[in-house]
Amino acid sequence: MPDPAYALLPADWAAFCKEAGLPTFRAKQILHGLYADRIGDWRALTTLPPALRDRLAAEHPLTLPREVDRSPTGPDGVVKMLLEMADGERVETVWIPADGRVTQCVSSQVGCAMHCAFCASGQLGCVRSLAADEIVGEVMALAKAFGRLPNNIVVMGMGEPFMNYDAVLRALRVLNCQQGLNIGARHITLSTCGVVPGIERLAGEGVQFELSVSLHAPDDALRSRLMPVNRRWPLGELLPACDAYTAATGRIITYEYTLVHGLNDRPAHAQALIRLLRGRKARVNLIPLSPVAEFDGRTPPHADCLAFLDALLKAGIHTTLRRSRGRQADAACGQLRLRNQEAKHGPATQV
Ligand code: SF4
């Protein structure tokens, strides 16, 4: 069974060379070709003998996902792409430029099983998890399309990364390692809806990835309505796990809080959130709801968002209010794939 090249770490290439009786510098040449030169085809790696190139092509294919759709570029330069994997399954990835730097949002699964209320990705359920090389492939495919690498990676696209833990972590190690794409751990963010065992496991990995947790509500009753994951791992388990992650890694958790008019944006919600986070090492990112057809909720008036922000800041909680980038690019999670799916099969059921 071929072992895709983009899933392999430097130690794997060293083992490959050892097993093949090759000098160790070949592993360095391979990694340089893959990630510094971004060859895309083993035949282009002419520093290697032809027989070795043939063997690599047979045993370690270089397969990249194929671009099948792309949103129009928004005024802010945000582009969302739909990528097709070798088996025909499709995921979204988003290219987000700002101030000369680029953040790429990658997917970890085809669809998602977590069913958060205001997310289009969960509408079709989880079809399958992505393999590590497919996740790295999202980055390589966009590097090819745009002629440059992103500065930051956020695993915030389709899927719950901790429901695909091993593949996601392997992919992030390839992106992070010096002989891979060399993207610093602090420039890589994992976003979870609150899968506590994943947070606990990551805390013990000895890595320093940033962690962002979708909170969206300050109490269990409301959060369980919006995010079914809360019924399995309620706030009383989630927040201590986040605290432990910070203690183990020194990384401060960012809590994402989507503001929905009348649902979770009232002053009482702000006060409940303050009670929840006061004394914790935490940052809050407030996101006014991006209206999606799949969720019956409205964007709060800007003044309400500012009042919510102000309440948290006055309580000493580090908080930012994000404008939703890429609305024009269908950038809310899952929408481009859903649109394509509907074009093929008709509309998905609404919740
Ligand atoms: S927000 Fe994330 S975890 Fe929740 S359904 Fe969407 S993709 Fe899944």
Distance, CA 341 to ligand 1 centroid (Å)? 17
Residues lining ligand 1, judged by CB closer than 6 Å?
Answer: 112, 114-116, 119, 121-122, 158-160, 193, 333
pLDDT at 331: 43
We report the CATH number of the domain holding residue 18 as 1.10.150.530
* Minimum-distance ligand 1 atom for the alpha carbon of 119: 6
Answer whether 291's CB lies under 8 Å from 259's CB. Answer: no
Distance CA 173, CA 171 (A): 5
128, β-bridge pairs: 110
What predicted TM-score, i.e. pTM, was given to this entire model? 0.92
pLDDT at 76: 85
Distance CA 189, CA 195 (A): 15
The answer on pLDDT for 9 being more than 70 is yes
The residues annotated as belonging to the active site are 92, 333
Percent of the chain with pLDDT over 70: 91
Q: Out of 42, 59, 76, pick the residue that ends a domain.
A: 59
Report which residue type is found at 209.
Answer: F
Q: Do 31 and 48 have their domain in common?
A: yes
The answer on pLDDT for 50 being more than 50 is yes
Answer whether 115's CB lies under 8 Å from 334's CB. Answer: no
State the residue range of the domain holding 305.
Answer: 66-345
Distance CA 154, CA 235 (A): 24
Q: Do 241 and 150 have their domain in common?
A: yes
Which residues contact residue 64 at a Cβ distance below 8 angstroms, ignoring those fewer than 6 apart? 40, 137, 140, 141, 144
Length reported for the chain: 351
The answer on pLDDT for 19 being more than 50 is yes
We report the CATH number of the domain holding residue 114 as 3.20.20.70
Query: What integer is the mean pLDDT of 100-123?
Result: 91
Report which residue type is found at 310.
Answer: D
Backbone angles phi, psi at 6, to 5 degrees: -75, 0
Q: Out of 20, 37, 59, pick the residue that ends a domain.
A: 59
Which residue's CA is the closest to the ligand 1 atom numbered 4?
116
The answer on pLDDT for 351 being more than 90 is no
Q: For residue 103, what is the DSSP state?
A: E
What tens digit of pLDDT does each residue of 182-228 get? 999 999 999 999 999 999 999 999 999 999 999 999 999 999 999 99
Query: What integer is the mean pLDDT of 108-127?
Result: 88
Q: How many domains does the chain have?
A: 2
Query: What integer is the mean pLDDT of 129-152?
Result: 97
Distance CA 290, CA 119 (A): 10
What tens digit of pLDDT does each residue of 264-322 get? 999 999 999 999 999 999 999 999 998 777 788 899 999 999 999 999 999 999 999 98
